[in-house]
Amino acid sequence: MTNADRADDAYWRRPPDGAAAPRRDPVAAAPEPGYEPPPPSTPPPAGWRPPVVVPTAPPRDMPAQQHARIDEEERAARTITYGVGLVAGAVVLVLIIMVCARLVG
């Protein structure tokens, strides 16, 4: 089958000299689609209920805080932190002095 055999292609062919171009038949307008309601729903099975969430127990009360003890432990932690920092600083200072002494001597 070639394109020459198709009647649809006659519209697109060049007309012979002096001839008018062939006219296409107007396409019939498609009918407007009507309203289509939603499909019918099926009822739930007998005895069906939505899932129920069981309420949980209320949270327990927190124990009372001992503010004096918390302050004492914070002071002790601060003292230890300062002590470790001083020892680390002293070690670094000694190492710097040793490196400088090696470079000079």
pTM above 0.75, yes or no: no
Single out the residue of 14, 38, 10, 35 nearest to residue 24, CA to CA.
10
Contact 15, 21 (CB under 8 A): yes
Residue 94 confidence (pLDDT) above 80: yes
Q: Between residues 22 and 104, which one has the greater pLDDT?
A: 104
Confidence at residue 50, expressed as pLDDT on a 0 to 100 scale: 87
Query: pLDDT digits over 44-93, tens only?
Result: 898 888 889 999 999 999 999 999 999 999 999 999 999 999 999 999 99
Query: pLDDT digits over 30-54, tens only?
Result: 778 888 889 999 988 988 888 899 9
